[in-house]
Structure 1
Amino acid sequence: MRIVQREQGWFPSQGVILDHAGLTMDASGTTWDLNYAGGPVSLDWEMMPIQSSEILAATVKYIADLVRTKSAKTVHLTFGILLKLGNSASFSKADRDRMEIPAEFFSELWQYVGRDVWEMHYFRHWYRSCVDRGCEAFSAEVAFELDEKRIPGRLKGQAVLSLDPETGPLNDLEITGLLNALRAAHNRKTLLLDEQAALWLCIALGPNPFQAALLREQDVEILTEGGQSFIQIRVPRTKKPHQLPRTEFKTRKLTMEIGQRILELIEQNRHYREVHGWPNEAYEFPLFVRRTPRPDQSTGPMAQYAMHLYTDDFTLLVERAARRLGVISPRTQKLLHVTTRRLRYTFATRLVREGASAQELAEALDHTDLQNVHVYFDIKSDIVESLDRATALALGPIAQAFLGKIVGSEAGAVRGDDPRSRIMSFDKRTEEAEGLGTCGEYSFCGLFAPLACYTCVQFQPWMDGPHDKILHYLLVRRDRKLAAGCDGRMVAIHDATILAIGDVIARIEAIHGTELA
């Protein structure tokens, strides 16, 4: 980056201005702190590679206008792209010699940005805007020439289209493994409540991390209809760059399982406040809360967000929680890489597979138009075409589909002395019921036994149980659906259970092998 020598009083102060949300921002000095609820965002004009006072004044006024009309993220992105101006020899010469900026600067920057050619839109808009301001260093003829150039848009959806195993949407087996591990972590108390709640919301609602970081306790409601209670949450909309944060919401219903985790987190937050106090009454109560106020927003127009996580903090919260679960991907045979972006991709692809229209998907993702959702309708299926016993036994342990505990017999199981805890299987051929294992859950369970038991952390399969029969039954049903041309979702509906049974059988065979040795 070109180093620019500055003279005293070189910066053209813009005073205090109102940003796009109507909040005050100090634009008098060389550092502009933008009002952004997602984290600290600032512009350092000392870094701008412009020496000419005329070009600098036009550029400063251009950015000030963007502050008034665009979101903080857009302003920050534009400023960052303009910092690359110093990589054009033609621009640097014109800037140094106080000459008109020639069209060559555009071609040089085009070569410099390489694959990020979409950035040229920002250089072109900046040049055109400075021409409109009457700055003599900018030529109307050059601006017209730039307007005639066709600039490709930003490539989108590559990770989704390719179903990339590291960055694309999770497949059915991966998301099932993640859910099973998440439920087991709650029972075993191996994840913090904020980690559980963050993962659950990302899986169930697919929010971007900014939306999640903006959530507050007041957004969660318990309602009753027809004698039935349910929990809903108001998710802030963030695709409206001209508005303040938290001015529009989308209300989403939560399952009781997810809602309960959210309520537990709120109760934990309230208890913490009672014990430790609250730094300032001007600070609102976020759902995902910091322990100390944000230094960049402890005062001023954004003070209400002082106890909210930064967007990056929420992203790290989700990633840390997923790592602690230790789920292994059957595709890569490595620790499952989970990010908020991947969970958002997964949420969208599953909605499409369940029959959502483009309009419904855009609404669920909080998009204002349909241009960014069509990629989800073009991806290939991630259904496993064939699955047999050998594959199930090989993939089952890798996928960690089974989370319970294998016991030698009923006598060695938790609740083994309670006949009501037995999990039975009915053999249609012999018309006899056979015992598979024991349920360690003391409360009522609404799951469909015995198939749902294999992916439950409370299930204790017996070593001599007829697990191979259940596996054979599911594999035969799967093959019949596949041969009949059934929808992929119907073919793979029990794949997680098949892998869990394969895991159980593989473990039992390993135990027997150890005993024989």
Structure 2
Amino acid sequence: MSSASKLQTSIDFGARSIEPAFNTKVLTWSGSTVDTSGKKWRISTRRTLNWELMHLRPGTTLQATLAYFRNCLRQLSDDTIFGKFKSLNTIFVTAIEANFDISNAIKIDISFYETIRNCLLKKVSPNTVRSHLQTYRNWYLWCTDAEFEGFDEEIATVLENRIIGGNIKGAAVLRNDPNEGPLHQIQFDALTARLRQAEENHTLSIEILTAAWLFIIYGTNTRNILLLNEEDLIKTRLIDGSEVYELRIPRIKKRQQQERADFKTRSLPPGIGQLLEKLKQQNARQRRLALLDHNPTRFSQPMFRRKKPYAELLNTEFEAEAYRQPSIWFNQALAHVVEKLELKSADGEPLRLTPRRLRYTFATRLVQEGASPMELAEALDHTDLQHVMVYFNARSDAVIRLDSVLTLPLMPVAQAFMGMVVPDENQAKRGNDPASRIKFLNRQQHQLKTVGTCGSFGFCELAAPIACYTCFKFQPWLDAPHQDVLDWLVSEREKHLARGVDPKMTQIHDSTLRAVNEVIHLCQAIHHNARDMP
């Protein structure tokens, strides 16, 4: 086989690609179209990626690298891509000189990083070494997130949490990176509150809503969720009539030959279990409409299911997986959550939400709740305790004071209050029902005062008014004593701090604090606008 034929074969990686319906024509960031079917990719008038110069033999590493640069074409300038190409090639040349077999990605372990770093430091400046290693890390993380064969999540976690040029440290986690590290408590509260609201309002599709919740409550990798089948949802009805849900989550091991051969069974919150049941019902309706999906022995029943099968998988050895969503769908689903729910970062830009970041958040929150290294490794399904220690190095039990949050204008990220301020009871939904009034006991004045109206006709088991301010059915009155509520919450928080109470208990009402503060600001803004009106 000629070298050109070998390259073409490696380019065509079929069902395992994140783009199963593969198109070698790529629309670039600049708007031009690049043909990526050959050995030389003309990416601009000045730049060409010559794959004959890339020191990679056909194999899993080359397959993933080709896909990585196709993705770069869609997002980066030609100069940046060309620089990455040269830098990554330098890494591969150095690896070959150090007798690494890099054609199979499974052989690129953590010792690879250390060896390459030491070799490069003998040849080029430290700044150049850092640049090359940063390119290598970005490449490895992307290939891992895209689920290419041989790229290991545990190695990716170690790489992600290194400071390039230094010793092992928790880069994204330890420095609380605002875009890559664990979500801040305010961001996490906003995300979960908006997801609950989206379920009530049907703002998000069932499959997207369910996927987001699974990443949050389990901190899994994408492939764990991708491989879920409908049969993995287990519901047990107890003697008292209540229902208990569990989920069998497929384990991902790099040397495991057969997928879905090993599982971890996790308990499932009832609300998420009910969502999964709805998703199964939706899948059943889609199956009835699908002309091909009439034989349950022909196709697997994935929990996250495409409406139409991949045509190129039909009548092949991969046919059973024709209805399973690709990995990229889950990243797109989280991006859709951010866009639809208008989630913001601290700088006001759209929140960066990825499965990896939710995994970091899951792990960090477990540590803050007192999990041991062994417990965390088990929850993350890690095989080595050293891979979880970064979360313990990053642990901080210090509880921040909220003075800045309560005195400065609210940042876009807070989003704690989701209800609607109404002028008075007469203009509130259910305003004619005295039972809808939400009351607050002013302990200093020994008076019970009304702060708003509940717009829900159902029975609520949550404690009013604490839970009300973060509920989207709450309608606070414009001139109600919200400041009294805020003063009491802050006073209680300060008492907890002074007594040295467990930080988890001290922070339990922080989202309510932010919500009450937001209501106060909204009421002030309404009064201010009313005064300015002619």
Q: TM-score range by the shorter chain?
A: 0.7 to 0.9
From 285, 289, 294, give the equivalent of 2:301.
285
- Specify the alignment match of 1:212 in structure 2: 225
Q: 1:85 to 1:376 in 2, by over 3 A?
A: closer
From 458, 483, 498, give the equivalent of 1:483.
498
Rounded Cα–Cα distance in structure 2 between residues aligned with 1:293 and 1:372: 38
Instruction: Please show how residues 370-385 of structure 1 align to structure 2 within 5 Å.
Output: 370-381=385-396, 385=400
Identity of aligned residues (%): 35
Residue deviations 1:306-350 (CA, integer Å, cap 9, x gap): 111111121111121222100233x33333221111111111101
Matched, 1:174 2:187: yes
Asked if the contact 1:11/1:29 (under 8 Å) is kept, the reply is no
Asked if the contact 1:217/1:285 (under 8 Å) is kept, the reply is yes
Residue type of the alignment partner of 1:399: A
Matched, 1:514 2:506: no
Once the two structures are TM-superposed, the CA of residue 399 in structure 1 deviates from its matched residue by 1.3
- Consecutive unaligned residues in structure 2, runs of 5 or more: 23-35, 40-49, 69-84, 98-115, 138-163
Asked if the contact 1:239/1:366 (under 8 Å) is kept, the reply is no
Rounded Cα–Cα distance in structure 2 between residues aligned with 1:107 and 1:509: 60
Once the two structures are TM-superposed, the CA of residue 176 in structure 1 deviates from its matched residue by 0.6
Residue deviations 1:210-245 (CA, integer Å, cap 9, x gap): 111111212112112342212221111113432311
Matched, 1:465 2:484: no
Once the two structures are TM-superposed, the CA of residue 510 in structure 1 deviates from its matched residue by 0.9
Rounded Cα–Cα distance in structure 2 between residues aligned with 1:241 and 1:119: 26
Rounded Cα–Cα distance in structure 2 between residues aligned with 1:353 and 1:346: 11
Residue type of the alignment partner of 2:343: V
From 242, 248, 257, give the equivalent of 2:262.
248
Rounded Cα–Cα distance in structure 1 between residues aligned with 2:434 and 2:325: 49
Rounded Cα–Cα distance in structure 1 between residues aligned with 2:411 and 2:468: 15
Matched, 1:302 2:318: yes
Which one has a bigger Cα radius of gyration? 1
Asked if the contact 1:223/1:231 (under 8 Å) is kept, the reply is yes
Rounded Cα–Cα distance in structure 1 between residues aligned with 2:96 and 2:183: 46
* Corresponding residue SS for 2:13: strand
Rounded Cα–Cα distance in structure 2 between residues aligned with 1:299 and 1:154: 51
Once the two structures are TM-superposed, the CA of residue 178 in structure 1 deviates from its matched residue by 0.9
Residue deviations 1:68-91 (CA, integer Å, cap 9, x gap): xxxx68985799999837985999
- Specify the alignment match of 2:468 in structure 1: 453
- Specify the alignment match of 1:10 in structure 2: 2
Once the two structures are TM-superposed, the CA of residue 196 in structure 1 deviates from its matched residue by 1.0
- Specify the alignment match of 1:141 in structure 2: none
From 245, 268, 287, give the equivalent of 1:231.
245
Rounded Cα–Cα distance in structure 1 between residues aligned with 2:413 and 2:8: 59
* Corresponding residue SS for 1:473: helix
* Corresponding residue SS for 1:324: helix
**Scaled by the length of structure 2, what TM-score is found?**
0.72
Residue type of the alignment partner of 2:248: R
RMSD after superposition: 4.0
Q: 1:437 to 1:35 in 2, by over 3 A?
A: same
Rounded Cα–Cα distance in structure 1 between residues aligned with 2:487 and 2:455: 25
Residue type of the alignment partner of 2:180: T
Once the two structures are TM-superposed, the CA of residue 305 in structure 1 deviates from its matched residue by 1.6
* Corresponding residue SS for 1:221: strand
Rounded Cα–Cα distance in structure 1 between residues aligned with 2:183 and 2:381: 21
Residue type of the alignment partner of 2:430: R
Rounded Cα–Cα distance in structure 2 between residues aligned with 1:79 and 1:317: 21
- Specify the alignment match of 1:164 in structure 2: 177
Instruction: Please show how residues 8-407 of structure 1 align to structure 2 within 5 Å.
Output: 9-10=1-2, 33=13, 36=16, 49=52, 76=64, 84=89, 114-117=130-133, 157-227=170-240, 228-279=242-293, 281=295, 282-295=298-311, 297-329=313-345, 331-381=346-396, 385-388=400-403, 391=406, 394-395=409-410, 399-407=414-422
Asked if the contact 1:110/1:117 (under 8 Å) is kept, the reply is no
Q: 1:118 to 1:298 in 2, by over 3 A?
A: farther
Rounded Cα–Cα distance in structure 1 between residues aligned with 2:92 and 2:491: 64
Q: 1:74 to 1:380 in 2, by over 3 A?
A: farther
Once the two structures are TM-superposed, the CA of residue 261 in structure 1 deviates from its matched residue by 1.8
The more displaced of 484-493 and 196-205 is 484-493
Asked if the contact 1:328/1:335 (under 8 Å) is kept, the reply is yes
Matched, 1:440 2:445: no
Asked if the contact 2:452/2:477 (under 8 Å) is kept, the reply is yes
Rounded Cα–Cα distance in structure 2 between residues aligned with 1:363 and 1:452: 33
Once the two structures are TM-superposed, the CA of residue 411 in structure 1 deviates from its matched residue by 2.0
* Corresponding residue SS for 2:234: strand
Q: How many residues align?
A: 440
* Corresponding residue SS for 2:264: strand
Residue type of the alignment partner of 2:344: I
Once the two structures are TM-superposed, the CA of residue 377 in structure 1 deviates from its matched residue by 0.6
Q: 1:120 to 1:419 in 2, by over 3 A?
A: closer
Residue type of the alignment partner of 2:369: E
Rounded Cα–Cα distance in structure 2 between residues aligned with 1:362 and 1:91: 34
The more displaced of 169-178 and 314-323 is 314-323
Q: 1:177 to 1:163 in 2, by over 3 A?
A: same
Residue deviations 1:127-156 (CA, integer Å, cap 9, x gap): xxxxxxxxxxxxxxxxxxxxxxxx999967
- Consecutive unaligned residues in structure 1, runs of 5 or more: 1-8, 15-26, 64-71, 93-102, 122-150
Residue type of the alignment partner of 2:334: V
Residue deviations 1:400-453 (CA, integer Å, cap 9, x gap): 210011112222211222222221112223333211111112222121211011
Residue type of the alignment partner of 1:471: L
Once the two structures are TM-superposed, the CA of residue 500 in structure 1 deviates from its matched residue by 0.2
Q: 1:409 to 1:498 in 2, by over 3 A?
A: same
Q: 1:87 to 1:33 in 2, by over 3 A?
A: closer
Once the two structures are TM-superposed, the CA of residue 204 in structure 1 deviates from its matched residue by 1.1
Which of the pair has the greater relative contact order for Cα pairs under 8 Å at 6+ separation? 1
Q: 1:293 to 1:351 in 2, by over 3 A?
A: same
Residue type of the alignment partner of 2:427: G
